Structure 1
Amino acid sequence: MPKHITIAIPHDLGAAEVIRRLDQRTDWAVRRLKRENISVTMTEWVEGRRAFTARALGQDVRGNIVVAGDILLLEAKMPWTIGVFAPSIEAAAKHYAARLLATAEAA
Structure 2
Amino acid sequence: MPKHITLAIPHGLGAEEVRRRLDRQTDWALRRLEKENISVAMTDWSQGGRTFTARALGQDVSGNVVVADDSLWLEAKMPWTIGVFAPAIEAVAKHYAARLLAPGGVA
Confirm or deny a common fold (TM above 0.5). yes
Query: Gapped runs of 5+ residues in structure 2?
Result: none
Query: Gapped runs of 5+ residues in structure 1?
Result: none
The aligned residue for residue 23 of structure 2 is: 23
Shift, 1:26, TM fit: 0.4
Task: Quote the Cα distance in structure 2 between the aligned partners of 1:21 and 1:101.
Answer: 8
Native 8 Å contact 1:30 1:39 kept in 2: yes
Q: How many residues align?
A: 106
The aligned residue for residue 55 of structure 1 is: 55
Q: Deviations over 1:83-105 (max 9, x none)?
A: 1110011111112223333415x
Letter in 2 for 1:52: F
The answer as to 2:47 corresponding to 1:69 is: no
Task: Quote the Cα distance in structure 2 between the aligned partners of 1:40 and 1:66.
Answer: 17
Task: Quote the Cα distance in structure 2 between the aligned partners of 1:61 and 1:94.
Answer: 18
Q: Give structure 1 regions of 4+ aligned residues with deviation exceeding 4 angstroms.
A: none
Shift, 1:6, TM fit: 0.2
Task: Quote the Cα distance in structure 2 between the aligned partners of 1:97 and 1:31.
Answer: 17
Q: Percent identity?
A: 76
The answer as to 2:101 corresponding to 1:101 is: yes
Q: Normalising by structure 2, report the TM-score.
A: 0.92
SS of aligned partner of 2:13? coil
The aligned residue for residue 80 of structure 1 is: 80
Q: Normalising by structure 1, report the TM-score.
A: 0.92
Over the aligned positions, Cα root-mean-square deviation in angstroms equals 1.3
